[in-house]
C-alpha cells in the first residue's frame, strides 16, 4: 500500500492511497479546502443526489406514519418505550438510505459521475451500516446513563450528552464510507474512523460549523437554497473521505461507475 499526502492542488481529487498515512495522523484536513471542493462538485451531481434525498424523505415519512400508528406517543404523557421503538425502527430503516447518499457523495468527490447503478452497492452494505448506527447509538445511551447517574437531570448532564453525541457523530464520519468503499468490517471501520478523525476533530468541528451556517442562510429564502446545500452536506462527507483516505491503490479509480453507465 502506498502512503501519500493529498494532492497539493486542492481543486482536484486525491488519487493516492492515504489510508495508512491518515491512521498515523499525517494527512491534513483543511476547512476551506473541504467546503470549497464540496461546493464546486455539487451542481454536476445535483439531479441524482436530489432523487436520493427525495427517496430518503419519502421513506422517512412513511416509516414515521407507520411507527406512529404502531407505537403511539401522547405528547402530554409520552410512553418512553414507544418513543424508543419509533426512534430505533426509524434509525435502522433509514441508515442504508443515508449510506446511499453518502456513497453518491464519495463517488462525486472522486470525479466519478454517480448513476442509479450505484444504488444497489449501498443497499448491499445495509447490515454493516445499520451495525455502525447501532454501535454509535448504544455508546451515546450508555454515556447518557452514566452522566445521569452522576449529575442527575441537570445542565451539566445535558452539556455532557451534547458534547459526547457531537464527538461520536464527528469521529464516526468515515465509518460508513470505509464499509462502502474498502469493505471493512463494522468494528474495523469504526476504529479506523475514530483513530483518523480524533486527530482532526477540530477541523471536523470547523467544517460542520461552517456547514451549519451555510444551511441556515440557504434556508432563509423560502428554503429554496436547501436544494443545493443539502446535497452539499453529503458531498462534504465524500470530500473528507477522499482527502483523508484517497483511492485504494489495489483498485481502479472508478470501480463502480463510469460516465458511460447512463448516470444522471
Rounded average pLDDT over 204-212: 97
pTM value is 0.86
Distance between CA atoms of residues 112 and 104, nearest Å: 9
Cβ within 8 Å of residue 3, ≥6 positions away: 16, 17, 18, 19, 20, 21, 26
Residue 95 has pLDDT above 60, yes or no: yes
Give pairs for 111-114: CB < 8 Å, separation 24+.
Answer: 111/13, 111/41, 112/253, 112/254, 112/256, 112/257, 112/258, 113/44, 113/45, 113/257, 113/258, 113/259, 113/261, 113/263, 114/45, 114/48, 114/49, 114/257, 114/263, 114/264
Rounded average pLDDT over 65-88: 87
Q: What is the pLDDT of residues 114-171, one digit of tens each?
A: 888 888 998 999 999 999 999 999 999 999 999 999 999 899 999 999 999 999 999 9
CB neighbourhood size of 48 (10 A)? 22
**Residue 245 binned pLDDT confidence (cut-offs 50, 70, 90):** very high
The pLDDT value given to residue 77 = 80
Grid coordinates in use for 59? 421513506
Selection from 206, 180, 201 nearest residue 33 by Cα? 206
Rounded average pLDDT over 39-58: 95
Amino acid at each position: 500500500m502506498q502512503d501519500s499526502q493529498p494532492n497539493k492542488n486542492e481543486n482536484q481529487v486525491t488519487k493516492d492511497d492515504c489510508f495508512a498515512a491518515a491512521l498515523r495522523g499525517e494527512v491534513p484536513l483543511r476547512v476551506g479546502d473541504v467546503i470549497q471542493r464540496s461546493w464546486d462538485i455539487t451542481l454536476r451531481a445535483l439531479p441524482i443526489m436530489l432523487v436520493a434525498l427525495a427517496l430518503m424523505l419519502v421513506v422517512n415519512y412513511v416509516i414515521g406514519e407507520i411507527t406512529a400508528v404502531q407505537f403511539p406517543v401522547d405528547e402530554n404523557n409520552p410512553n418512553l418505550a414507544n418513543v424508543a421503538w419509533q426512534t430505533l425502527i426509524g434509525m435502522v430503516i433509514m441508515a442504508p438510505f443515508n449510506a446511499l447518499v453518502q456513497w453518491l457523495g464519495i463517488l462525486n468527490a472522486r470525479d466519478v459521475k454517480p448513476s442509479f447503478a450505484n444504488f444497489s452497492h449501498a443497499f448491499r452494505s445495509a447490515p454493516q451500516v445499520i451495525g455502525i448506527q447501532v454501535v454509535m447509538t448504544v455508546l451515546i445511551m450508555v454515556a447518557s446513563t452514566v452522566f445521569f447517574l452522576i449529575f442527575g437531570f441537570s445542565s451539566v448532564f445535558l452539556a455532557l450528552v451534547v458534547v459526547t453525541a457531537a464527538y461520536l457523530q464527528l469521529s464516526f464520519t468515515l465509518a460508513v464510507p470505509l464499509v462502502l468503499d474498502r469493505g471493512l468490517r463494522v468494528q474495523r471501520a469504526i476504529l479506523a474512523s475514530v483513530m483518523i478523525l480524533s486527530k482532526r476533530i477540530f477541523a471536523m468541528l470547523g467544517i460542520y460549523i461552517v456547514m451549519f451556517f451555510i444551511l441556515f442562510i440557504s434556508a432563509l429564502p423560502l428554503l429554496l437554497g436547501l436544494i443545493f446545500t443539502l446535497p452539499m452536506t453529503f458531498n462534504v462527507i465524500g470530500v473528507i473521505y477522499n482527502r483523508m483516505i484517497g483511492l485504494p491503490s489495489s483498485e481502479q479509480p472508478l470501480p463502480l461507475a463510469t460516465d458511460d453507465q447512463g448516470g444522471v
